[in-house]
Amino acid sequence: MEFAYAKNARLLLLAILGAFLASLSYLTCIYNPVELLINKVTGFYPDSIKFNLWKEPPFDLLIRVYVFNVTNSVEFLEGTEKLRFEEIGPYVYKETLYNTNVTFNDNGTISFTPKRRLDFVREYSLGNPDVDRLLLPNLALLGISSALSEESMFIQLGLRSLTAYLGSEPFVNISITDFLYGYDDPLVALANDFVPNWIDFSRLGILDRIMALDNGSSIVTMNINPIEESTDETLTVEGRRLPFSIQNWNGSPRLKQWGDEDGSDSHTENSRCNSVEGAFLGTLFPQNIEKNSTFYLYRHAFCRPMPIVFEKVKTTKYGFDGYLFRVKRDFLDTAEENPENKCYCSTTKCTPKGVGDLSPCYYSIPISISQPHFLNADPSILEEIKGLSPDEAKHDTTMTIHPQLGVPLEANLRLQINLVMPETSYNSRTEPFNNLILPLLWVELSIDAVPTLIQFYLKLLYQILPIAQEIVIYVFAIAGIALILAPSLKIFLSSSNTSSSNRKSLRINYRQIPVFSLRRQILTPNILIQK
């Protein structure tokens, strides 16, 4: 009797354990502890993993610079040939980003100042930029002449006399480093001395001016969990509260260079193109991205947001599935073709399709951006010059983003810097360039490798742990059901065996009772009748 009781107790304990495992499987399926862990690990707060990845991104952001060398300057100035360019490069620089002066605000935003540093990477470069020399358009002469092209005849005649006196030539033979970081030119030095409010530098270099704008004292306010919603009607409700999107740049959600309803600029109508609110800096994006998403990338040096749209799911070389985004085809279209670009047409003569004006951001010098080799631009631009061959595979902008974590896995941001030459007068040195768009250089900002630490988190959080959780759910469910059913089946079988055993026992103890047939004679009395 005691043995049977102990046996039944063990079976009951197994059934309870089975119920516990089955319940644990169900709760794991419902509450998804891996997702809770991911939300904890990927939270953005002081000294969190994601915060530290953002503050000093471990990505190797490489800037590949390709410069356009002029190969027929004499023939061009004589008017016998179209200007011919030859692409030289790459010259590669590694950019290091530091987000400094970080402040978490009470309204669910964060304020900071981004700082960048460039270091030359010799092993990835074509040559030595300090030694390699090219024949390039003289930015000082052409740029200042272009900026003053709409001034009075007297100013233009004075500029002609000044350039002749200083001996400024339309082309200069200088090193790559001088072209990028600044070369001495008497015209720039003179402008810096006499009009420092306009030309606040003594040496003119393309990359130097870009980095100066990027490394200015900009204060960026970024959404984390914003409490107050934006009132910007050009954004959707969701777009106003997206984590890691820009809320303000230097205290304003808009770019004053392209007009603001509170400013004195003539562009009083706000639109998406003069707003940085809702744009992203490119280091972090929201988690759990949807396939129909459109993001705006903003870098202060390029002075305008760049829209990228989802194209397809792509498996990267590290085995992670990411969402491939490509720059929107119409982002440099004219205002007639794309009304969102209306505010960029800031002059009486707007730039053609595929070319975006940047002059308000660069001292009114008619600097512009385009895709490299004028990809997707007005074909007439390429008809006026030689040596450029647009190729979508080489020159388009793409970015692959991890859809769950919201970090870039691959990136190739490609833009070209040009000088738009208007109609200049009274100066024989600049007149051959009239109405040309001169390609100066193009840059590729690329992320080719995912840091080991981020690879570890991606594999652990989005590959290993979800699979392990799935296995645990099924194992616990199967084990729980088995532990519940096994004791029940055991009890049922034991009960069945006991009943059968009792019937067998009755058959063994049964004894037949013999039934005797009584003969008639025994039962009939023996009576004699005498006669």
Q: What digits encode the pLDDT tens for the residues 228-253?
A: 555 555 555 555 678 999 999 999 99
The pLDDT of 180-188, averaged and rounded, is: 84
Collapsing DSSP states into helix, strand and coil, what is residue 51? helix
Max Cα–Cα distance, the chain, nearest Å: 192
pLDDT for 57 equals 92
**Lowest-confidence pick of 290-304, 386-400, 463-477, 484-498:** 484-498
Question: How many CA atoms lie less than 13 Å away from 144 in the CB half-sphere?
Answer: 27
| CA 451 to mean position of chain CA atoms | 15
Q: Is the model more confident about 237 or about 264?
A: 237
Residue 351 DSSP code: P
Amino acid of residue 509: N
Instruction: Provide the pLDDT for residue 186.
Output: 79
pLDDT at 167 over 90: no
Residue 284 has pLDDT above 80, yes or no: yes
Helix, strand or coil, per DSSP, at residue 188: helix
Q: 130: exposed, middle or buried (C-beta count within 10 Å: 0-12, 13-18, 19+)?
A: exposed
What's the rounded Cα separation, in Å, for the pair 322 and 406? 10
- Above pLDDT 70, what percent of the chain? 82
Q: What is the pLDDT of residue 396?
A: 97
- pLDDT number for residue 221: 94
Spatial contact of 55 and 44, defined as CB atoms under 8 Å apart:
no
pLDDT > 90? residue 407: yes
Mean residue pLDDT across the chain: 84
Q: Does the structure show a pLDDT above 90 at 401?
A: yes
Residue 378 has pLDDT above 60, yes or no: yes
**Whole-number Å distance between alpha carbons of 452 and 480:** 39
* 416-442 average pLDDT score: 92
In the chain, what percentage of residues exceed pLDDT 90?
50
Whether pLDDT at 510 is above 70 = no
Alpha carbons 484 and 91: distance in angstroms, whole number = 69
Residue 322's pLDDT band, with cuts at 50, 70 and 90, is very high
Residue 19 is predicted with a pLDDT of 87
Q: Span 211-218, mean pLDDT?
A: 74
Does residue 390 carry a pLDDT above 60?
A: yes
More confident residue, 187 or 347: 187
Please report, for residues 23, 24, 28, 43, the alpha-carbon distance to residue 31 in angstroms, rounded to integers and kept in the order given.
Answer: 12, 10, 5, 18
pLDDT of 449-505, one tens digit each? 888 889 999 999 999 999 999 999 999 999 888 888 876 676 666 666 555 555 555
pLDDT exceeds cutoff 60 at 516: no
Per-residue pLDDT at 263: 45
pLDDT at position 238 is: 55
| Residue 118 phi, psi dihedral angles, 5° rounding | -110, 135
Spatial CA neighbour of 355 closest among 363, 373, 364, 340: 373
pLDDT tens digits, 325-373: 999 999 999 988 988 888 888 655 789 999 999 988 887 888 999 999 9
Query: How far apart are the C-alpha atoms of 52 and 183, rounded to whole Å?
Result: 38
Is residue 112 within 8 A of residue 102, CB to CB? The reply is yes
Element (H, E) at 158: helix 153-166
pLDDT for res 531 = 43
| pLDDT value, residue 529 | 44
Distance between CA atoms of residues 335 and 345, nearest Å: 7
pLDDT for the residue numbered 44: 93
Give the pLDDT score at 446.
Answer: 96
> What is d(CA 286, CA 280) in angstroms, rounded to the nearest whole number?
10
Residue 524 pLDDT exceeds 60: no
Position with higher pLDDT, 302 vs 349: 302
Residue 42 has pLDDT above 80, yes or no: yes
- Determine the pLDDT at residue 264: 41
**Integer Cα distance of 309 and 312 in angstroms:** 10
| pLDDT at residue 209 tops 60 | yes
Structure-model confidence comparison of residues 237 and 324, the more confident one: 324
Q: Per-residue pLDDT tens for 109-161?
A: 999 999 999 999 999 999 999 999 999 999 888 888 888 777 778 787 887 88
Q: Which of 37-41, 59-63, 252-256, 262-266 has the least mean pLDDT?
A: 262-266
- The residue ranges of every structural domain in the chain are 2-42+464-491, 59-450
Handedness of CA 406, 408, 412, 415 (dihedral sign): positive
Q: How far apart are the first and last CA of the chain?
A: 79
